A and B are shown apart, each in its own frame.
Chain A
């Protein structure tokens, strides 16, 4: 999914998955990050494929981040390959107030690793998000346990986040993108596949869909 370079500025398009149990706050995190919004009101994710965040990474790098929510109703874990296809990074989210959602993290991670890989066969970089940290009850600090868990499960790292209070969401995203960019330096995703065709409605302006006919 690497983009081509336009003059001096290098442009990337990264597909990032956001997975985890129902109600852990996946959509809230995406909205907080992309739209700077938070609402207490739950709505199942209807009609939305992904949200787009444009990052001016540095003076020479533009990153377009597509954050793919799981459609609310794929909650039985049977996502289509369309969802996983060509993803280059992932957030696995759990809710620190509900232990069962943490127990499901390993399942989600395993599912992720079995369904998508980088071009070189390695797992895609993934970051664990302990969401709803604004509701943390005890003051206990499990950070060394969490570090170990991440090491064993193959996460790059973990963040305590709160979509509500806007804690660590940007930091987690920055951390993941850094790692995706590191991977990108060593890999070409496209190989010799330049003549791919997208089918689009003629009414859509060509500039938004490079390579269309």
Chain B
């Protein structure tokens, strides 16, 4: 933990810990490159991060503060480090990828009373001391981003500010709204432990804040998509567990209903007539190998998929299902692309469950960290809250030869990989960006209650008008480890046409019960209300740089820019980008070969004379590397009997059946 100087030379310096950068880091480290991986933030994963509730409140605070602070940059520090024939290219220290952030809280501000029945904490005595401990602990926890101690306090401020901004004259007195509404059953009878739980107050959200893992980016994983394939191929999958999305819903005419997508769903569906069932099965069967039947769609190859669907004499019902919920394309998407999307969806069905999608436990922010761990395990060095001030460019070759970090150290590198948000506007051809609109809601129950209260749902919401974007909603239950029991975490995402609030608030009020006044509870108990109540909501826009390619930047040739998350449902875009950058860096190396399983590793304790023995070729890079590390490491005092680690693997990397036990 001690601050120490970094080594002065790396093969690759990577700035930003989002998904693309983290995959590149793991891939480089895995094949023996020395990697320095930095992030200016104090948490992993950048805009891919997930936060505890308290962590998110601190993130919001930080965003607000950044709006005000203009950082004065002192060039003097690095001037002395620049030699003859070198140029300096500064990076930006301000992150401007998030905008239009708005927060509204509707949870009761009532003080948490010490109830004898608090099921979640029943194992410990409830007393004042542990309560405060927990609150405090909760705020420093998780991604840990934050200086947790003032999270609670600063949050109070956030709320107040919001009230003032939005409803200057009608700030609800915290005590007004909660007279008599005594314990309400929040969840379905399927979940007896929480039945006695009373309504969820704001204090409760703070106290249980560590149970939330709130993603800034909302994506799902196609079970045969590039990310799942890579996780499996590289063995990075060992660091994570997943849940299947249990159902796909859509919202038609204001009503939420289930989309039948698998064969079983189709036949079990009560919404579809027998004729429709037959039509749908026939169409889906055709889509599975549509390439074999070009005559079926040839005439429509230049026309939209939606028109092709019409021509197939499918009912309107079915057309909507296929277009919006299965292919998930727009009215304008061309036929072949629509067919491909449908085919991809169908091929992903059944690999792990009844829908094509997986979601990582603890949130999507887990995935970049899995790749970072793999990078670290193979020797990559990690520093958060640590950035690069400027690049040192060799005038002759127009290549980056070193970076100067925020502590003023000059660090040599052969390649520099950087997330888009660190690049200054001067280095861009264009500063016109697309945006993603996001809303994050904490609600008190599912939009479509069912027998089980532990459903993870993808809800596709077709555009309301012709110009409005299609909205994608993911509703997560507590067993996905992203929200506290008794609540649901709801993510809405669309390509922006206006601010996030303009784009998404209409959908939110269509599907949820939103009180007119922030701070006010929704009227009526959960029994009487027909829609789930919103306890807390946040809107923001995130810059979508995915349309940029390398020609969009004027940068040295060995600088590789990683654009941020795109607005799509899957992560194919980011994974393909990582792979292409990696092949650019190391054209002859394998991309993320499987890491050995810990169970297969045999420790070889015979000391130096044993070195090299038992290593097959694929292990040599690691061996070399660990020796190099040995020399580099500052605290490897020679006299110390210290840790040893000659690692041999018994079996070739790629076939590795566990040989022990």
Interface residues, chain A, with chain B CB atoms under 8 Å away: 21-23, 25-28, 31, 34-35, 37-52, 54, 66, 71-78, 80-83, 85, 100, 104, 107-108, 111, 113-115, 117, 120-122, 132, 164, 186-187, 191-193, 195-201, 203-205, 208, 213
Contacts and interface: CB of A to CB of B under 8 A. Distances in A.
A39 to B, nearest CB: 4
Contacts of B233: 201
Given A48-B601, A80-B369, A197-B352, A104 B645 contact: no
Top 3 nearest A-B pairs by Cβ distance? A37-B605, A39-B644, A27-B643
A202 B637 CA distance: 44
Of the candidates A34, A54, A74, the one having the most CB atoms from chain B within 10 angstroms of its own CB is A74
A42 B373 contact: no
Interface string B598-621: 110101011110000000000000
Given A37-B605, A38-B605, A196-B361, A114 B1 contact: no
A83 B235 CA distance: 16
A132 B640 CA distance: 10
A193 B142 CA distance: 20
Contacts of A77: 1
Contacts of B134: 121
Contacts of B597: 204
Contacts of B629: 43-44, 46, 72-73
Of the candidates A41, A81, A107, A203, the one having the most CB atoms from chain B within 10 angstroms of its own CB is A81
Contacts of A104: 1-2
A122 B606 CA distance: 42
A122 B241 contact: no
Nearest to A28: B643
B644 A50 contact: no
6 contacts: A46-B377, A51-B598, A75-B381, A81-B44, A85-B362, A197-B244
Of the candidates A25, A39, A75, A200, the one having the most CB atoms from chain B within 10 angstroms of its own CB is A39
Contacts of A201: 232-233, 235, 594
Contact of A117 (B137, B231, B378, B382): B137
A80 B376 contact: yes
Contact of A74 (B240, B353, B376): B376
B647 interface: yes
A120 B126 CA distance: 12
A134 B32 CA distance: 36
Contacts of B370: 80, 82
Contact of A35 (B382, B603, B643): B603
B433 interface: no
A197 B3 CA distance: 39
Contacts of A35: 603, 605
Interface of B: 1-3, 44, 120-121, 123-124, 134, 137, 140-144, 148, 191, 210, 228, 231-233, 235, 237-244, 351-353, 358, 361-362, 366, 369-370, 372-373, 376-384, 454, 479, 481, 594-599, 601, 603, 605-608, 622, 625-627, 629-630, 633, 635-637, 640-647, 655-658, 661
Of the candidates B1, B366, B637, B656, the one having the most CB atoms from chain A within 10 angstroms of its own CB is B1
A204 B658 contact: yes
B373 A71 contact: yes
A49 B481 CA distance: 24
Given A80-B44, A120-B123, A199-B228, A41 B607 contact: yes
Contacts of A44: 379, 626, 629-630, 633, 645
Contacts of A113: 137
A213 B384 CA distance: 36
A141 B370 CA distance: 44
A177 B440 CA distance: 41
Given A35-B605, A117-B141, A49 B655 contact: no
Contacts of B351: 213
Contact of A205 (B120, B144, B228, B657): B657
A154 to B, nearest CB: 11
B630 A115 contact: no
Contact of B241 (A45, A73, A197): A197
A76 B232 contact: no
B371 to A, nearest CB: 9
A199 B637 CA distance: 41
A43 B243 contact: no
Contacts of A85: 362
B645 A43 contact: yes
B630 A52 contact: no
A191 to B, nearest CB: 7
Contacts of B598: 48-52, 66
Given A115-B141, A132-B641, 17 more contacts: A23-B636, A27-B644, A28-B644, A35-B605, A42-B645, A45-B645, A46-B629, A48-B647, A51-B603, A76-B381, A121-B120, A192-B191, A192-B479, A199-B232, A199-B358, A200-B232, A201-B594
Contacts of A23: 635-637, 640, 642-643
Contact of A42 (B141, B383, B599, B630): B630
Contacts of B479: 191-193
Nearest to B44: A80
Contact of A45 (B141, B238, B635, B643): B643
Nearest to A123: B137
Given A196-B361, A208-B658, A41 B646 contact: yes
Nearest to B370: A82
A145 to B, nearest CB: 23
Contacts of B121: 120-121
A42 B642 contact: yes
A192 B237 CA distance: 22
Of the candidates A25, A38, A77, A196, the one having the most CB atoms from chain B within 10 angstroms of its own CB is A196
Of the candidates A37, A117, A192, A213, the one having the most CB atoms from chain B within 10 angstroms of its own CB is A192
A39 B144 contact: no
B322 to A, nearest CB: 27
Contacts of A47: 377-378, 595-596, 601, 622, 626, 647
B1 A42 contact: no
A122 B120 CA distance: 12
Contacts of B383: 76, 78
A73 B352 contact: no
B479 to A, nearest CB: 5
Contacts of A37: 603, 605
A132 B639 CA distance: 13
Nearest to B636: A42
A189 to B, nearest CB: 12
B142 A46 contact: no
A76 B44 CA distance: 14
Contacts of A107: 1
Nearest to A52: B599
A43 B377 CA distance: 13
Nearest to A39: B644
Nearest to A134: B641
Contacts of B381: 73, 75-76
A176 to B, nearest CB: 20
Nearest to A49: B598
Nearest to A193: B479
Nearest to B385: A78
A191 B454 CA distance: 12
A46 B626 contact: yes
Given A22-B633, A45-B645, A115-B144, A82 B352 contact: no
A78 B1 CA distance: 8
B143 A81 contact: yes
Contact of B635 (A22, A27, A49): A22
Given A115-B141, A117-B141, A82 B646 contact: no
A54 B233 CA distance: 28
A71 B362 contact: no
A164 B641 contact: yes
Contacts of A122: 123-124
